[in-house]
Amino acid sequence: MSTNYNRIKVADLEVNQPDKILTTNSKGELDFTDINNIKAESYNGLDYNQEGKALDARQGKVLKDLIDNIKTFFETFFLGISNDQNVSGTKTFLSGKIGLRNVANTFTSFFTNSNTSSRTYTLPNKDGVVALVSDITNIVNYGNQNTIPKYGLYGTSLGNSRISDTGSNILIDNYNTAEFDLQFNSIKNLNSIGSERSSSGFNGTDFSIQAGNTSNSQSQLLIKRIYSNYASSTRPSCVFSSNYSDNVYACAGTIMYKFNKISGAFSEYASGLSPTVWGGCESPNGDVYYINQQKNIYKQTNGIGSFVLYATLPEGYYGTGITITPNNDIYACTFNGKIYKQTNSTGPFTNIGESGKNYISLTCDLNNNIYVAEGGNNSLGGGNGYIYKQNNSTGSFNKMDSSFSFWGGIVWDRITGDLYCSSLTAIYKFMNGEGTPINLGVSFAGCATLAICKTILFSAWINTSQGLQDVYGMYLNSSGIPDLNGGTLKQKAGVGKGTGQSRIQFITGQKTTSGTDLQIEALRGYIDENGYVVWLNMPTYADNIAAIAAGLPIGCEYKTASGDRKIVY
Evaluate whether 217 touches 478 at the Cβ level (below 8 Å).
yes
Whether residue 201 lies inside any domain: the answer is no
370 plus 449 within the same structural domain: yes
341 plus 441 within the same structural domain: yes
H or E stretch at 458? strand 456-461
Separation of alpha carbons 516 and 503, rounded Å = 33
Separation of alpha carbons 85 and 78, rounded Å = 9
471 plus 522 within the same structural domain: no
3-state secondary structure of 569: coil
441 plus 521 within the same structural domain: no
Query: How confident is the model at residue 1, as a pLDDT?
Result: 43
Whether residue 379 lies inside any domain: the answer is yes
Residues of the chain with pLDDT under 70: 1-17, 19, 21-22, 26-28, 30-31, 35-57, 73-103, 105-108, 135-143, 155-156, 175, 216-222, 227-233, 377-382, 404, 445-446, 462-467, 477-480
**Spatial CA neighbour of 35 closest among 20, 24, 23:** 20
Domain that holds residue 19: 1-44
Helix then strand then coil, % of the chain, to nearest 5: 10, 35, 55
Query: How confident is the model at residue 283, as a pLDDT?
Result: 96
Query: How confident is the model at residue 95, as a pLDDT?
Result: 58
Q: 72 φ, ψ to 5°?
A: -65, -40
Tens digits of per-residue pLDDT, 192-201? 888 888 887 7
142 plus 230 within the same structural domain: no
Tens digits of per-residue pLDDT, 96-137? 666 666 667 666 677 777 888 888 888 888 888 777 777 666
232 plus 303 within the same structural domain: yes
Tens digits of per-residue pLDDT, 419-431? 999 887 788 999 9
Separation of alpha carbons 538 and 457, rounded Å = 55
Parallel, antiparallel or unpaired: strands 223-226 and 182-184: unpaired
Domain boundary among 25, 44, 63: 44
Separation of alpha carbons 190 and 185, rounded Å = 10
Query: How confident is the model at residue 90, as a pLDDT?
Result: 44
373 plus 422 within the same structural domain: yes
Query: How confident is the model at residue 196, as a pLDDT?
Result: 86
Separation of alpha carbons 269 and 110, rounded Å = 58
Strands (E), 242-386: 248-252, 255-260, 265-270, 277-282, 288-292, 296-300, 308-312, 318-324, 330-335, 339-342, 350-351, 359-364, 370-374
Number of domains in the chain: 4
Whether residue 197 lies inside any domain: the answer is no
CATH number, domain at 439? 2.120.10.30
Cis bond before residue 276 (omega within 30° of 0)? yes
Q: From the CB of residue 452, how many other CB atoms can be counted at a distance below 10 Å? A: 27
Whether residue 13 lies inside any domain: the answer is yes
342 plus 406 within the same structural domain: yes
155 plus 265 within the same structural domain: no
Whether residue 294 lies inside any domain: the answer is yes
Predicted TM-score (pTM) of the model is 0.57
261 plus 406 within the same structural domain: yes
**Spatial CA neighbour of 291 closest among 269, 267, 317, 327:** 317
517 plus 400 within the same structural domain: no
Whether residue 487 lies inside any domain: the answer is no
Whether residue 67 lies inside any domain: the answer is no
Whether residue 549 lies inside any domain: the answer is yes
Q: From the CB of residue 55, how many other CB atoms can be counted at a distance below 10 Å? A: 14
Q: 226 φ, ψ to 5°?
A: -115, 100
Separation of alpha carbons 306 and 300, rounded Å = 6
391 plus 512 within the same structural domain: no
